Amino acid sequence: MRKIQFNTIGLDKKPKDCHVVVAMSGGVDSSTVAGMMKEEGYNVTGITLKLYDDGKTSSSPNSRQCCAGQDIMDAKRVSEKLNIDHKILYYQNKFKKDVIDNFVDGYIKGETPIPCVQCNQTVKFRDLYSYAKELKADALITGHYVDRLKVNGKVFMYRAKDLQRDQSYFLFNTTQEQLNFLRFPLGKLTKKETRKIANKLNLNVANKPDSQDICFVPNGDYASVIKKFKPSSFKKGDIVDLKGNKVGEHEGIINFTIGQRKGIKVSGEEAFYVLKINATKNQIVIGPKDALGVDNIFLKELNLFEDLSKCSNIFVKVRSTGKFLKAKINLENQNATVRLQSSETGVSPGQACVFYQKDELGDKVLGGGWISSTSN
């Protein structure tokens, strides 16, 4: 019997016989991945997505946004240097419908949406995935910092080696079919190691700043985006305390998120925080910091990689930069109730709650869901 010889992306083929598609945003991470694949002998096609029109043909070389005008040019230059095919897909309409509109509607409903999760879920891991399949690619490669391990014949997602860069929280909605096709070469590298490889490959983006802002939100000013697409959403309303008493007025609920302190403009003996946003009544509920804590989180639209009833040592994260929280999870069809062992602050509807399990290989992603509501 022939001994199976797997290549560096886990396929029983020589690299020269493999066609891989690399999602190239124009940043150092995806560019480095494209360079790594080329160096290892794979047939590489780089694909860059044009996701929105910012009215500019280019942006500052020091832009801290992803998918900005300069990024498409950077991806093209890297592809030319590596001598790989490069394509640009014009997904502005898809992105507007699946990401921007959901972002705007989420804030209008009093939620705090996460467009990066929806972007991965739709235009990247649905539409780009389908296009890579049309090209008969053997795998879709991305520059995400997340690990992918095969255990007993099944592929799982794990947190990256570089925990400061780990992006598993944003990928909880990946399907098993997509995960089987995806590869994440940076999962076992630190950011410092990635930049070192980029410099070794002499890539022009080796020292390019990391993207920080949401690509379609200039300078983090999400209110301006909402005003652009739904100007009628700025409606004055009441600010009330925990007893329902009116204590002030606001200029629009979209200016607030759960846990926010600035901009309330209500004075008192102690600082006030946003505890709840009631979109139906157009109200902001405020109170002291110690009232921010929640013990129960209610989820909808679950995506699970594992049967949670067979899992132990489960932790959850309720924000990308948050810590692991010990919790018990009760499932009911596509919904779940997460009961935290200790209260957590700043938990907002519209965000994600992602489940993890610690095992001998690391922190395995079990799945997650969207936060619909919370309670004490």
Catalytic residue list contains 353: no
Percent of the chain's residues with pLDDT above 90: 82
Phi, psi of 331 (to 5 degrees): -95, 145
The CATH superfamily holding the domain 294-375 is Translation factors (2.40.30.10)
Model confidence over 181-197: pLDDT tens digits? Answer: 999 999 999 999 999 99
Q: What is the pTM of this model?
A: 0.92
Asked if 215 is an active-site residue, the reply is yes
Share of the chain above pLDDT 70, in %: 94
Which tokens in the block code for residue 197?
A: 């490889």
Question: What mean pLDDT is predicted for residues 94-104?
Answer: 93
**Among residues 66, 67, 116, 119, which one is catalytic?**
119
The pLDDT score that the predictor gives to residue 1 is 46
Distance in Å from the first CA to the final CA of the chain: 61
Query: Mean pLDDT in the chain?
Result: 92
Which pLDDT score, from 0 to 100, does residue 268 have? Answer: 84
User: Is CATH 2.60.120.680 correct for 15-220?
Assistant: no
Catalytic-labelled residue, pool 116, 215, 311, 353: 215
Superfamily of domain 234-291: Adenine nucleotide alpha hydrolases-like domains (2.30.30.280)
Residue 164 sits at φ, ψ, to 5 deg, of: -70, -25
Check residue 65 and give its pLDDT: 52
> Each residue of 36-57: pLDDT tens digit?
999 999 999 999 999 987 555 4
Averaged pLDDT for residues 279-296: 95
Place 281 in a pLDDT band, splitting at 50, 70 and 90.
very high
Q: If DSSP states are collapsed to H, E and C, what string results for the chain?
A: CCCCCCCCCCCCCCHHHCEEEEECCCCHHHHHHHHHHHHCCCEEEEEEEECCCCCCCCCCCCCCECCCHHHHHHHHHHHHHHCCEEEEEECHHHHHHHHHHHHHHHHHCCCCCCHHHHHHHHHHHHHHHHHHHHCCCCEEECCCCEEEEEECCEEEEEECCCCCCCCHHHHCCCCHHHHHHEECHHHHCCHHHHHHHHHHCCCCCCCCCCCCECCCCHHHCHHHHHHHHCHHHCCCEEEECCCCCEEEEECCHHHCCCCCCCCCCCCCCCCCEEEEEECCCCEEEEECHHHCCEEEEEEEEEEECCCHHHCCCEEEECCCCCCCEEEEEEEECCEEEEEEEEEECCCCCCCEEEEEEEECCEEEEEEEEEEEEEEC
Per residue in 125-146, pLDDT tens?
999 999 999 999 999 999 999 9
pLDDT at residue 335 in the model: 97
Is 294-375 in the same CATH topology as 15-220?
Answer: no
Q: How many CA atoms lie within 13 A of 19 on its CB side?
A: 8
State residue 4's pLDDT score: 52
Enumerate the domain spans of the chain: 15-220, 234-291, 294-375
* pLDDT higher than threshold 80 for residue 175: yes
Q: How far apart are CA 357 and CA 16, in angstroms?
A: 37
What is the pLDDT averaged over residues 150-174?
Answer: 96
pLDDT of residue 60 exceeding 50, the answer is no
What's the average model confidence in pLDDT over 266-286? 93
151 token code pair: 């255990």
